[in-house]
Structure 1
Amino acid sequence: MVPSPFPRTGLQMAYFRTWHDRVADPTKPNCFGDIPAEVDVAFVFPDFTPPENPFWRTLRDEYVPKLHEQGTAVVRTTDIGALLDPSFPDTPSGHRALAEKLVSDLVHAHGLDGLDIDMENRLEPAAAERAAAVFHELSRLVGKESGDDSLLIYDTNLGGDEPVFSATADLYDYVLVQSYGRSLDSLQATWETFAPLLPAERYLIGFSFYEEFDLNRWDDTSEPFEESRAVAYAEWQPEGATKAGVFSYAIDRDGVDFLDDEITAVEYSWTRKIGERLRAARG
């Protein structure tokens, strides 16, 4: 567990897609363990990386200790569907057992610092109530309600009026809004859906690097750097408040030109420059 507390603002977080790690796929040039110290929280985004892949052993034994040494926390991402696992009964004891399994399998087994739940679906009322109940059980085990330094994070492309969030807003260390491709003019209105339930110092907005093969066309990171949406997001603040920081998706594509599909080694140049801006803003 990373021992030192984070600053309240000026944070940088980043999602690394595990299938682009060179241990997970030896044809790939980049490494999760090389994420730079400018990143306060690194997310393990685990698609296409089955449990038997050697990435998971390397993550636990090499990457996590290295990142902890530089002060970077490591958090596992999973989809909201994991909180609706039908093999567990929809009862208080079932919710508790599911939460315990998720934390054991996704966090403790790899020596990680917490859990991030990706919420991109509007659930039917019964499913929303069930997910909220499991979130409450998770909060006993990870995050600010657990009594230790672990993290419970909620990330979403929805607003703060979504019922699961409304029922659980006070549980999270941080809430991340996937703002990929959005105009600056839209950011305040989105924040205002969260503001009644969440202090700004727990709120981050995020941009995406260009993935590959037209997986997205957000164009958040086109050159020149100074005129990019990524920089604008790092500098944007809610009216009358200061947000926690900014995050990136697909940091394993840092610095790749928009619409460039070649998989190449990255130097994390954008992440480092954004980190410099965030540190300066901390004062």
Structure 2
Amino acid sequence: MAASPYPRTDLQMAYFRTWHDRVADPAKPNCFGDIPAEVDVAFVFPDFTPPENPFWDVLREEYVPALHERGTAVVRTTDIGTLLDPAFPDTPSGHRALAEKLVGELVHAHGLDGLDVDMENRLEPAAADRAAAVFHELSRLLGKESGTDSLLIYDTNLGGDEPVFRDTAELYDYVLVQAYGRKLETLQPTWDTFAPLIPAERYLIGFSFYEEFDLNRWDDTSEPVEDSRALAYAQWQPAGETKAGVFSYAIDRDGVAFLDDEITATEYPWTRLLSQHLRGS
């Protein structure tokens, strides 16, 4: 796998929507394997891409090796709900078995470098305790606590005071906050909820490219680039500290004119520009 980028502070990560890959859908012009080297961690965001889709074989056999050659790690995204699978008992052995299943099926089966868990729901106390227990079992297999080069990443639109995170904060290589559409003055108060639990060097904030047909319109990539929220996020730092970097959602829409609903080929101009700002080049 690609070497872990931790603990750099100029990182760029990106979510690619797999259903817009040209192998998953031959009508689409872009492919996951073309994500540029400016991206340190590429996330496989798998909605609308069933297991029988040829994308998965191409991901393992072609895309992952190509991205590794560029120094990009490849990580699978899954929802917090997968950590609450009712087919597994809410017991230590059940938590361990579920963690092993998730890592085997979502990471190892495709030759990937780690797992990213998307946490957007406030769980009831029993479910929160259960999810935290499975996270601890995952950390035995992935991430900085596992003794491997793999990654365990937590991404959320919630704060750092959420109980699952509070009980597992030390496990993660990186914590990603979906700051889509938020005003700059909200970034520091959000960081303040995470600051007691993790160093800034493990913290990234993220923006979203414009999704077609006004889906989840955040206005993060409005033009000109110099006035965009995306660039402001790349430049923002927690007071007195340095964050790990910035991430984008829907990188498959990079380069699309704002509010343009056509799915077009991209050379990833925003990703390349943000890299220059992050790395001072």
Q: What TM-score comes out, normalization by structure 1 length?
A: 0.98
Please name the residue that 1:19 is paired with.
19
Give the fraction of aligned pairs with identical amino acids, expressed as a percent: 84
The separation in 2 between residues aligned to 1:191 and 1:199, in whole angstroms, is 10
Task: Report the secondary structure of 1:217's partner residue.
Answer: coil
Aligned residue runs from structure 1 range 73-222, under 5 A:
73-222=73-222
How far is the alpha carbon of 1:214 from its aligned partner? 1.3
How far is the alpha carbon of 1:279 from its aligned partner? 1.5
How far is the alpha carbon of 1:19 from its aligned partner? 0.1
The separation in 2 between residues aligned to 1:25 and 1:268, in whole angstroms, is 20
The separation in 1 between residues aligned to 2:11 and 2:263, in whole angstroms, is 28
The separation in 2 between residues aligned to 1:5 and 1:49, in whole angstroms, is 28
The separation in 2 between residues aligned to 1:212 and 1:5, in whole angstroms, is 32
Tell me the amino acid that sits aligned with residue 77 of structure 2. Answer: T
CA shift digits 1:225-266 (9 cap, x unpaired): 111000000000000100000000000000212221111111
Count of residue pairs the alignment pairs up = 281
Please name the residue that 1:57 is paired with.
57
CA RMSD of aligned residues (A): 0.9
The separation in 2 between residues aligned to 1:37 and 1:160, in whole angstroms, is 31
The separation in 2 between residues aligned to 1:7 and 1:137, in whole angstroms, is 23
Say yes or no: does 1:31 pair with 2:31: yes
How far is the alpha carbon of 1:276 from its aligned partner? 1.2
How far is the alpha carbon of 1:277 from its aligned partner? 1.2
CA shift digits 1:132-167 (9 cap, x unpaired): 000000000000000011000000000000000000
Runs of 5+ unmatched residues, structure 1: none
How far is the alpha carbon of 1:6 from its aligned partner? 4.3
- Asked if the contact 1:255–1:270 (Cα under 8 Å) also holds between the matched residues in 2, the reply is yes
The separation in 1 between residues aligned to 2:4 and 2:137, in whole angstroms, is 26
- Asked if the contact 1:4–1:71 (Cα under 8 Å) also holds between the matched residues in 2, the reply is no
Please name the residue that 1:266 is paired with.
266
The separation in 1 between residues aligned to 2:107 and 2:240, in whole angstroms, is 36
CA shift digits 1:153-183 (9 cap, x unpaired): 0000000000000000000000000000000
Aligned residue runs from structure 1 range 219-234, under 5 A:
219-234=219-234
Q: What TM-score comes out, normalization by structure 2 length?
A: 0.99
Runs of 5+ unmatched residues, structure 2: none
The separation in 1 between residues aligned to 2:245 and 2:260, in whole angstroms, is 28
**Is the alpha carbon distance of 1:157 and 1:264 closer, same or farther for their aligned partners in structure 2, counting shifts above 3 Å?**
same
